Amino acid sequence: MIPGPTPIPQSILKAIARQPIKHRSDEFTSIMQEIYTNLKYIFQTKNDVFIFASSGTGAMCGALENILNPKDRILCLVTGKFGERWAEIAKLRGAEVDILSCNFGEVITPKMLQDHLSLHKPYKAITLTHSETSTGVANDLQSLCAIIKKTESLCIVDGISSICAMPCKMDEWGIDILISGSQKGLMLPSGLSFLALSAKAYEIHKKCLFPSFYFNFSLHKEALKKNTTPFTPSINLIFGLLESLRIIKNIGLENLYHKHKKHTFALRDAIRAMGLELFVKDDAHASYATTSIIPPNGIKAQDIIKHLQENYNIIIASGQQELEEKIFRIGTLGYIHNEDLIQTITALEQTLQSLGYKFENKIGTQTLLEKLKMP
C-alpha cells in the first residue's frame, strides 16, 4: 500500500516472464505499434509519446536535457521532493532556476503563479508536478496550465503518479511535455518511463546545444515513426506494458479515475473519523495516488509503519527527507481494490490501539465501508 511500486496483476507478471524476442522483428514492431497508439489514449493526446528504458527520473531528465541551454531561465513550481527534482536537473544544465514554492502539504495556487509571473521576465520553461507523491497534494493543473498557456513558456508536467489515477489532459490543457513512469497507475514494475511531446517543444529541442543522447527527442521521434525505439528497449517490461494498456483501455480511463477518487476520499473520511489529522487539509488538493497522515501525539510514524508490517504484513510508506518523522503515507494507486483498503484500515486501527491511541472502536473501518458502498 505504498504509492509505487504498486501491486501488479497476475496477467502482467506472466507477460513479463516470457522469453525475450528479437526487438528488430515484425512481431515486436506490431507490439510497439499497438503500444504507441494506446499511450496516446492514456496521455489524452495526439502527440508522440516516447518510451524510455529508465525510471521516471530519466523522463524528467529527457524533458529538460533536450530543451535547456546554459543560462536559460526556468521556473520550477515546488510542492515537495519531486518538484525540487526538476530544479536540480535544470541547475546541472547550467540554467538559471527560479523556484516558486509553498508549505509542504499545500499547493501552488493559480494566483500565486499569476503574481509571480507578473513580477518576472518570461521563462523558457515552467515545470509543474501534478500529483506530488512526497506530500500527497495534487496541484490544480488545469488552471495552472491555462496561465502558462498565455505566456511563451513551455509547460512541462510531471504526471508520474497522476497518469491513469486522476484526469490529466495533455492536449486540452495545453501541456507541452508530459512525463510518467511505469510503476504507478500503469500497474507495471519500475523500469519504463514515458514522455509526450508537443510540436512546440520539439521545435525548441532543435535549438538545444548539448542535448541528451539517450533521451534524445530527434532519435526517439525517428524511431517512433517506424514503430521501434532507437536503442534496445526493455523488452520484457514492454510485454507487460502491452498487457497493462489493454487492461486500462478495457476498464476505461474515466472508470479508473473514479475508482482512485473514491478510494482516496473513503480513506480520508475514515482517517478523520478515527480522529487523525490529514497532512493535506483541503479535499480539493488531495492527490488520488497517496494520502499523507499525521501520527497521533506521542506515537512515531516509524512505529506505526513497523507494527503494520510485522503484525499484518501490510507495507505503507514513511514521509521522505524532512517529512520522514512527520507523516506516514498510504497509497491508493494502481491495482488496489476495496479489500486492500479495508484490510489496511482495520490493521491500522488495531495498530494504533496497540500503540496506545484511543478512539471509537472500529469507527475507521465502519466509515470506510459506508463510503465504499457509494456509487
Residue count at the site for a copy of itself (CB under 8 A)? 54
Can residue 3 be called a binding residue for a copy of itself (CB under 8 A)?
Answer: no
Decide whether 18 or 111 has the Cβ nearer to a copy of itself: 18
Name, in order, each residue with C-beta under 8 angstroms of 268's C-beta and a sequence gap of 6 or more.
278, 283, 286, 291
Q: Minimal CA–CA distance to 79: which of 333, 293, 280, 324?
A: 280
Smallest separation, CB 19 to a copy of itself (Å): 6
Can residue 312 be called a binding residue for a copy of itself (CB under 8 A)?
Answer: no
Measure the CA–CA gap between 96 and 64, rounded to whole angstroms: 13
Q: Is 360 helix (H, G, I), strand (E, B) or coil?
A: coil
**Contact status, residue 330 vs residue 295, Cβ threshold 8 Å:** no
The stretch among 29-37, 51-59, 113-121, 343-351 that binds a copy of itself (CB under 8 A) is 51-59
Decide whether 173 or 217 has the Cβ nearer to a copy of itself: 217
Q: Minimal CA–CA distance to 348: which of 336, 337, 359?
A: 359
Smallest separation, CB 356 to a copy of itself (Å): 26
- Cis amide leading into 5 (omega within 30): yes
Number of alpha carbons in the 13 Å side-chain half-sphere of residue 355? 22
Phi first, then psi, for residue 50 (nearest 5°) are -85, 155
What does the buried/exposed string (b/e) look like for 35-49 if buried means 16 or more CB atoms within 10 Å of the residue's CB?
bbebbbebbbbebbb
Contacting a copy of itself within 134-173 (CB under 8 A): none
Can residue 338 be called a binding residue for a copy of itself (CB under 8 A)?
Answer: no
Pick from 53, 99, 242, 276 the residue near a copy of itself by CB under 8 A: 53
DSSP string of 203-239, one letter each residue: HHHTT-SS--STT-HHHHHHHHHTTS-SS---HHHHH
Helix locations, 158-299, DSSP H: 170-173, 199-205, 217-225, 235-251, 253-273
Site map 180..209 versus a copy of itself, x via CB under 8 A: -x-x-----xxx-----------------x
Q: Residue 334: count other Cβ atoms within 10 Å of its Cβ.
A: 25
Q: Is 176 helix (H, G, I), strand (E, B) or coil?
A: coil
The stretch among 49-57, 104-112, 124-132, 258-266 that binds a copy of itself (CB under 8 A) is 49-57
Decide whether 109 or 318 has the Cβ nearer to a copy of itself: 318
Binding residues for substrate: 329
The stretch among 52-60, 76-84, 103-111, 114-122 that binds a copy of itself (CB under 8 A) is 52-60
Decide whether 137 or 316 has the Cβ nearer to a copy of itself: 316
Site map 206..245 versus a copy of itself, x via CB under 8 A: ---xxxxxxxx--------------xxxxxxx--------
Pick from 11, 25, 30, 151 the residue near a copy of itself by CB under 8 A: 25
Per CB under 8 A, residues contacting a copy of itself are 2, 4-8, 13-14, 16-23, 25, 52-58, 61, 65, 70, 88-89, 92-94, 181, 183, 189-191, 209-216, 231-237, 315, 317
